[in-house]
Each structure stands twice: as structure tokens, then as C-alpha cells.
Amino acid sequence: MPRVEVDGGYRFAVIRHEFNWQNYQGWAIEEATYVRPRLAIAVAVDGLYRNWTDPNTGHASESNRRYGLLAGVKVTGSRDRTVVPFGQMLVGIADTRTTLRVVSVPEIAVSASGFAIQPGGGVDVRVTDAFWVQASFDVRVDQPQYSTSWGYPEWRMGAAITYHLRR
């Protein structure tokens, strides 16, 4: 039976909007099945959220939701160490949903889904043989076929708890 690890945790992202960068918070769950001692097939699901209300009047608000379903390869350093670096390249589908609300006007909802790539890396720190703490950093580029997408990627950081299933 191949070695499997599952992690779940918090994500923070900085994403470019029309005129400035906005902070998002959310979650991520990832599963990695090792096909070699340091090479795994990884699948990740995540969600990021941002809400804004006009501070002057309170009559206008914006709700942003971003979701991802990606898969790819993950490579790690030797698991014999306490701190183990890793790198991964994921590709998949990213979904964006925005809702604009203004008092006495019907809300406007906009959504889009498209291809995304997400290179990243981080470190796993051993707590016990089964439990590890993970710190990660990655960059997601939605719709990389457009040159402007490369200028405004999602800069993402995370912290997670990882569980290693025994063979």
C-alpha cells in the first residue's frame, strides 16, 4: 500500500482587484499518495473568502468567493529529518464568484471558472511520526493563457496539520 498523507488548514491570500490588492482568508485540504519515496500525486481543494461593506454608508457591499480543485505532483526531501522541504506543481479548475449588493437595487452576481496553475512549496515539521505541521507558500495563476493573468496572480500562504497514514 502506498504512503498517503492528508492535510487541512488555514490559507491567507493577497489578490489583485481593479485598483488595489485585497486580503482573503480561507481553508485548504490536500491529499498526497506517494508513488516513490519522495514523489507523490497530490490533489487539493480550497476556498478563499472576502467581504466588504462601504464604511461611509453601509448601503453597498461586495462578497468574493474563490474555490479551486487542482491536482499534480509533489516532491519532498528525506522523511528521516525533522524539517522536510517540499515543492509541488498543481493544475486544475479555479472558480471565482462575486456578488455586489446596493440597497434598493437587485444584486449583481458574476462568476467564472477556468484553467489554473499553482506552483508552490514549503516545509513539513515533524511533531510525531503520524502528525506534522506544515507551512506553505504558493502562487495561483488563473487563466494563464492570458498575459495579464501572469501580472496579477494570487499570492497564497498557509499553515496546516498533516496526518501520515501508516502502511
Hey, how many other C-beta atoms are within 10 angstroms of the C-beta on 44?
22
Cβ-proximal residues to 151 (8 Å cutoff; 6+ apart), any chain: none
Spell out the SS3 assignment of the chain: CCCEEEEEEEEEEEEECCCCEEEEEEEEEEEEEEEECCEEEEEEEEEEEEEEECCCCCCEEEEEEEEEEEEEEEEECCCCCCEEEEEEEEEEEEEEEEEEEECCEEEEEEEEEEEEEEEEEEEEEECCCCEEEEEEEEEEEECCCCHHHHHCCEEEEEEEEEEEECC
pLDDT, one tens digit for every residue, the chain (167 residues): 568 999 999 999 998 877 788 899 999 999 999 999 999 999 999 999 999 998 888 889 999 999 999 999 999 998 889 999 999 999 999 999 999 999 888 999 999 999 999 999 999 999 998 999 999 999 999 887 877 777 788 899 999 999 988 66
Identify the structural domains of the chain with CATH numbers, from first to last.
Answer: 4-47+71-90+117-165 (2.40.160.20)
Q: What's the confidence (pLDDT) of residue 101?
A: 92
What's this model's pTM, rounded to 2 decimal places? 0.88
Partners of 142 in the beta sheet? 116
